[in-house]
Amino acid sequence: MNGGIAIGFFDLDPESFGAWAKEHDLPRYLGDQVLRWVYQRGVTDPELMTDVSRRARSILAEEIRFGDAIPITDRLASDGTRKLLLGWPESERTRRIEPEVGTALPVMPEEPSRQTECVMIPSDQRRTACISSQVGCPVGCRFCASGLEGLEGNLTRGRIVEQAWRLGRLPGVDRITNVVFMGMGEPLANYKAVTNAVRTLNAPWGMGISARRITVSTVGVPAAIRRFAGFDVPVTLALSLHAPNDELRREIIPWAEYSTVEELVDACRAYFDSCGREITLEYILLGGLNDRISHARELSQHAKRLRCNINLIRYNEVAGLPFKRPESDDVHRFQAELRRRGVNVHIRASRGRDIAAACGQLRHERRNAS
């Protein structure tokens, strides 16, 4: 892979690929050919693109980067969940490293310091990619490993898409059916790259994933949610609420200082009114902190103002943080109280606990061990 190549394949769409081809005196349909090779057949070596002319293959190899990620760690959980820790070079130079499943490369001086995680979650007929939108996170939720070192940078459109593409090429996956932006970062704080990535994930020429099977999760900035309501691909919006009142929410989520729960609910209602998509309220249960029956009662009042469902998530412990995983009885009592009050609520199954699958955990563990 050549260094200094300015154009990344996963940043391209048919229009921009056609413009690039025209600049190089190549046929505009070349973009359609290459997009099919990569997204439908998983081929990223121009020399293997047999219906592409020899001259075009040579120019493609010289001028387009077919992937930036450097796989650092690949972990397979007992429940089939697969987690990749990827490094992103700060320059345009890339190198290919493909570790065996369950192995980790030693920390080396040339290993990229910018790292993100992505996860493939198998479930019945689904293969869900949980992907990151930023390196680190600016929100700094007190219980989350992603933001412990702050925000290190945004991921580009291409680097967001590449995560889903790589997970779809893992052995036995066949294809990704669902995508959730629930990895590292706050998606709506990287709005342009995330929305452009969604277009690639959704497009027939890209990964062809239905908008109904793409979920963007946000900690909640009312103005950003209202802007997102005008986005032309009607994906599912998930609000990471995690507390039913402003006082408790501001205790665990620093960004809650900038908006109230009431303002967030109003913005989510505007999103539903705009695109007709039911909102998901994400609620991480922290043992002894936000998992009381009184909290469930408060939460139900917000839920009744929205067309929404609630996902209850058992907290996965993070080394060095004081928060605890809730007791199973408390989780089920919390769910029962919400259902008693007419709320559509589910307990999300914990996946990949034996491989530190929660957001930011693997990167945090690796950095602490180095």
Q: Which is catalytic among the residues 117, 152, 282, 337?
A: 117
* 117 catalytically annotated: yes
Task: Cite the beta strand spans of the chain per DSSP E.
Answer: 7-8, 64-65, 70-76, 82-87, 115-123, 126-130, 134-136, 151-154, 178-181, 214-218, 236-240, 279-285, 308-314, 345-348
Joined together, the tokens standing for residue 257 give 């200082």
Give which of 233, 229, 226, 239 is closest to 284, Cα–Cα.
239
Structure tokens at 333: 């009592």
Assess whether 130 carries a catalytic annotation. Answer: no
Q: Which of 141, 144, 268, 359 is catalytic?
A: 359
Q: Select from 28, 9, 347, 354 the least CA-distant residue to 166.
A: 9
Residue 239: which residues within 8 A CB-CB, separation 6 or more?
A: 217, 218, 219, 220, 225, 264, 268, 279, 280, 281, 282
Check: CB of residue 216 under 8 Å from CB of residue 235: yes
d(CA 321, CA 238): 25
Position of tokens 């609000």?
239
Catalytic residues: 117, 359
